[in-house]
Structure 1
């Protein structure tokens, strides 16, 4: 059986769990934390030299890191990867946007806000910058969703799964989603998808 090593509180680790829930695919969740040193052991570093989660273990013993790569692997052959080349490229466009524009602002500001060990890095300048950049990313998303139900068209794709977790938790970082009506409507559409499970869900829970 596939195993996903991850931290329940992490949006990046939630992404593959959410995809597996939406596709009804069996897997085992193995809880690991980057905060307690468990991903810095020799054993874990032998599996992923970066020492981060999520980490996917295939049934043949191979390992795959990085949430976007894991989503692409697990999404192969599912309805969450568009068949049309252009729509598939649009999906990837938004997945790259999530990693390059969205996460470095919204997820980072949340981490600086909620994790005590990150408080020292939460300087006024950094909090101001991440707030501005995060709101800019939300504005881009809001405009894009004004013309379609999901980011790669009228059907959900891996792009929506990639963007959902940290957008859903943006308020924990001090972001006000109220002005972004298209984004809040999209969050509701994602949560209405058959098989949807919240971040705290695991196959055993």
Structure 2
């Protein structure tokens, strides 16, 4: 049996969960180690020795090398699998969604969730742009998923993994998914495809 990877992450983080999901889905042996991000776990000297950037998720490979940034990690783990399209244009489309997720989805939906759910701030205290841009992101996804089962056609890819992580938690950021039936159906398809249960 291959020596397992060590995955450092916070179970409340969508960015961390997507790494765990891909490893589990592909049968890659791994050991999960919880890092309490709100409690300062990423600022501990032992963790900073592994990742001076002080961020999770982080993977430590059996040879001692490390890799951070969730989308970089899942691309590496999924290399050669069905989660990455073989066709060049479909692969580029997958990457387009993954870049978009980090720049135009996560900074609004995940950040608003963190402010409301973890910091217990009032919606009135938050920058209105977080809600506005989050709704823009959901509308774009809804339009795409009205036309296809997954973000890159009819097959589950890393684009879906990357985007489902925080989309299925969006209600905790004050985003009502009721007006987005295609997104809700897509979330269920991705959860089924990855073999993960629905988010409570």
Pairwise TM-score range, normalised by the shorter structure = over 0.9
> Contact conserved, 1:9 with 1:199, CA < 8 A, in 2?
no
> Contact conserved, 1:2 with 1:59, CA < 8 A, in 2?
yes
The 2-side partners of 1:129 and 1:94 are apart by 21
TM-score (norm 2): 0.92
CA deviation map 1:55-111 (0-9, x unaligned) = 001111100011011111111111100000100000000001110000011000100
In structure 2, the gaps of 5 or more residues are: none
Counterpart of 1:124 in structure 2 is: 125
Counterpart of 1:177 in structure 2 is: 177
Counterpart of 1:138 in structure 2 is: 138
- CA positional deviation for 1:125: 4.9
Two-structure CA RMSD over aligned residues (Å):
1.7
The 1-side partners of 2:125 and 2:38 are apart by 24
Instruction: Go from structure 1 to structure 2 and tell me whether the alpha carbon gap of 1:198 and 1:9 turns closer, same or farther (over 3 Å shift).
Output: farther
- CA positional deviation for 1:198: 4.1
- CA positional deviation for 1:136: 0.5
Counterpart of 2:59 in structure 1 is: 56
Query: Which residue among 86, 89, 102 is the counterpart of 2:89?
Result: 86
The 2-side partners of 1:144 and 1:28 are apart by 35
Query: Which residue among 36, 43, 47 is the counterpart of 1:44?
Result: 47
> Contact conserved, 1:5 with 1:55, CA < 8 A, in 2?
yes
Counterpart of 1:197 in structure 2 is: 196
Instruction: Tell me whether 1:65 sits opposite 2:64 in the alignment.
Output: no
Instruction: Tell me whether 1:25 sits opposite 2:24 in the alignment.
Output: no
Task: Give the match's secondary structure for 2:90.
Answer: helix
The 2-side partners of 1:66 and 1:161 are apart by 14
The 2-side partners of 1:66 and 1:124 are apart by 29
TM-score (norm 1): 0.90
The 2-side partners of 1:49 and 1:123 are apart by 35
Corresponding pairs, count? 196
Instruction: Go from structure 1 to structure 2 and tell me whether the alpha carbon gap of 1:93 and 1:111 turns closer, same or farther (over 3 Å shift).
Output: same
